[in-house]
Amino acid sequence: MLYFSKLKILLVLIFTIIFSYFSISNFTKFDDNFFSRNINLGLDLQGGSYLLLEIDNSPVIIQKLQNKLSSLKKFFKDKNIRSTNWKIVDNKKISFEIDNTSLEEVLSLLKDKESVINPYYQRFKTHEFNVEETKVSSSNNIELQFSKYGLVQLKSSSQEQAIEIVRRRVDEIGTNEPNILKRGSDRILVELPGLDNPDRIKTLLGKTANLTFRFITQNESESFGTEKLSFQDETEEAVVSKRIILSGDNLIDAQPRMDNQSNQTVVTFNLDRVGAKKFSKATSTGVGKRLAIILDGKIISAPNIREPIIGGSGQITGDFTFQTATDLALLLRSGALPAPMKIIEERTVGPDLGQDSINAGVLSLIIGFVLVICFMIIKYRIFGFIANITLISNLLLLIGILTLFEATLTLPGIAGIILTVGMAVDANVLIFERIKEEIKSENNKIIAFDNGYLKSKSTILDANITTLIAAIILFILGSGPVKGFALTLGVGILTTLFSVYFVARLLTAIYVIKNKNKEQLI
């Protein structure tokens, strides 16, 4: 155990020097072209903004009901089943009527989950709905509404999509190391370290960016229904169909531009192949009609369709400044949120508070480190000195690995580092106490030290592996600060084992071999 080949000694030195360099790069300015990574400070250390967002899933439910209504009508038409009076009731149910001869067949089809296997009807998933039959005079009225399982799935999908969209919007602005996490089934936590003025972020996150193209109509008896919307400048209102011709999902790019003809700032957009086809068909059949371009419930513009638009591109005009056009283009590029969100909690942590946390954490680390160093030197003399060198190398390795992966350090992360110091000392104490026991029964000092390291190995590994398992579970199931603590603790366990069984053992071997004839070594 005390024997080290020249290759092993070289590898230990190279590994220790490299990660020590990574660690020291956080505190000194080296050449950025060679290594430019650093540990990022979390919200509690650096200061920044904390936003808790809540998702309103009501519009998602309505949109899903509209899609189901279209699918069902198409489904029944293909099955030659006569159905009438299609409508959405209270924004919660699909209601329709069928004749008496088709009642049993319709109920059988709605309850038959196998009917969704056909790719043509794959959007028609009946297991998401509850089926209710109601007799109304001489007709049969059937109502469909989401089951509890269907609502849970819808909320989960909406939250996952919203997190991805929020992440895109934050990344587009260039915020450093944002922390975006789930909270419950309809909330999202956004932490923005280093950002003390979150007004623009709040504005962007507060907008759904739900872009739709719908026809202005005077016919209020449409199956999809109509609604009255106001223009963005609040000077005019118009009745628009709830039927969505095209949505922002079909956009592949959006950019702010200056229109040379009107000398106005506009947002140009390009559609994907499906969107271009839909847009072409809608503008071909709707020549002479007004097409409303609606963003988050407000009509931006409503031009008359004079001829079919088949190019798959267009522009959005409005009273834009270049900044508002840039933000709108950003919102459209990153995609629409599946549902509106509102900020229900907001906090700003000042950099002074963060600095106080750093100072307190560093002070506690220094105090603990100094006390441990003094204890080890008094207790084990030269081997205590070796253990202290091991502690320093352990900290350098730990910080170096965190730097390499650009980890985010939080206050609980500092606590994990302090705990690592204690665990590293614990391993050395176990080894040295075991060596003392071996010296009592073994005259050969080298064999005694060798047995001390060998026989204490299983105990140290068992203790550290069980702690490592706990750290892994905390990292997987935890979030935010808990993850930070688990990360530093887990990495600290690995660096502890390396420093104890390679660095400390190498230094111990050098000293013991050179002083093997001394009467008392430890």
Determine the length of the chain.
522
- Burial profile 75-85: b = 16 or more Cβ within 10 angstroms, e = fewer: bbeeeebebee
Q: Are residues 374 and 433 in the same domain?
A: yes
Residues 36 and 111 in one domain: no
Structure tokens at 212: 């739709």
- Count CB atoms within 10 A of the CB of residue 122: 10
Bridge partners, 267 (sequence order): 256, 316
Write the pLDDT tens digit of every residue in 131-153: 554 444 445 778 888 878 888 88
Between 456 and 193, whose confidence is greater? 456
Above 50 in pLDDT, residue 291? yes
Cα 374 to Cα 248: distance, rounded to the nearest angstrom: 66
| Residue from 288, 283, 293 nearest 248 by CA | 293
Task: Let me know whether 355 and 498 are in one domain.
Answer: yes
Same domain, 359 and 313: no
Pull the structure tokens for residue 77: 């038409």
Q: What is the pLDDT of residues 304-345, one digit of tens each?
A: 888 888 888 888 877 788 888 888 888 888 877 878 888 888
Cβ pair 297, 214 in contact under 8 A: no
Look at residues 200, 204, 207, 202 and name the one whose alpha carbon lies nearest to residue 298.
Answer: 207
CA 512/CA 488 separation, integer angstroms: 33
Assess if residue 423 is contained within a domain. Answer: yes
Do 362 and 428 belong together in one domain? yes
Q: Coil, strand or helix: which one is 146?
A: strand
Beta partners for residue 95, in sequence order: 87, 143
| Token pair belonging to 322 | 């270049």
- Residue 170 placed within a domain: no
Query: Which of 107, 98, 94 is CA-nearest to residue 150?
Result: 94
Do 300 and 443 lie in one domain? The reply is no
Q: Would you say residue 65 lies in a domain?
A: yes
338 domain-assigned: no
pTM: 0.59
- pLDDT for 195-225, tens place per residue? 766 777 888 887 777 788 899 987 766 667 8
- Whose CA is closest to 262, among 324, 320, 330? 320
What is the tally of structural domains in the chain?
3
373 and 300 housed in the same domain: no
Residues 510 and 467 in one domain: yes
Residue type, 423: M
Say yes or no: 392 and 471 in one domain.
Answer: yes
Span 349-357, average pLDDT: 68
Question: Residues 480, 441: one domain?
Answer: yes
3-state secondary structure of 471: helix
Q: Return the DSSP state at 173.
A: H
Q: Place 491 in a pLDDT band, splitting at 50, 70 and 90.
A: very high
- Are β-strands 341-349 and 48-55 bridged in parallel, bridged antiparallel, or unpaired? antiparallel
- Domain final residue pick, 108, 127, 151: 151
If DSSP codes are grouped into helix, strand and coil, which group holds residue 26? coil
Among candidate residues 277, 303, 319, the one where a domain is terminated:
319
Please name the amino acid found at residue 148. K
Per the domain annotation, does 190 fall within a domain? no
pLDDT at 493: 92
Tell me if 53 sits within 8 A of 342, measured CB to CB. Answer: yes
Q: What is the pLDDT of residues 375-422, one digit of tens each?
A: 888 888 888 899 899 989 999 999 999 888 888 787 888 888 888 888
Please give the backbone phi and psi of residue 97, each rounded to the nearest 5 degrees, phi first: -120, 145
Instruction: Supply the CATH number for residue 457's domain.
Output: 1.20.1640.10
Q: Phi/psi zone of residue 122: left (φ > 0), alpha (ψ -120 to 50 degrees), beta?
A: alpha
Which amino acid, 32? D
Share of the chain residues as helix, strand and coil, in percent rounded to the nearest 5: 55, 20, 25
> Can you give the CATH number for the domain in which 244 is found?
3.30.1360.200
| Domain shared by 245 and 146, yes or no | no
pLDDT in tens, 72-128: 888 888 888 888 888 888 878 888 888 766 677 777 776 654 343 333 333 344 456
Within this chain, do residues 105 and 230 fall inside the same structural domain, yes or no?
A: no
Contact 330, 172 (CB under 8 A): yes
* Domain at 72, CATH number: 3.30.1360
Residue 17: CB atoms within 10 Å: 11
Task: Tell me, yes or no, whether 203 lies in a domain.
Answer: no
* Domain hosting residue 224, numbered range: 210-319
* pLDDT recorded at residue 122: 34
d(CA 413, CA 482): 8
Confidence (pLDDT) at 398: 92
Q: At what angle do helices 481-498 and 445-477 cross, to 10 degrees?
A: 160
Name the H helices within 189-270: 199-205
Q: Does residue 29 lie in a domain region?
A: yes
Mean pLDDT score of the chain: 81
Note the pLDDT tens digit of each residue in 248-287.
888 888 888 888 777 888 888 888 888 899 888 888 888 8
* 344 found inside a domain: no
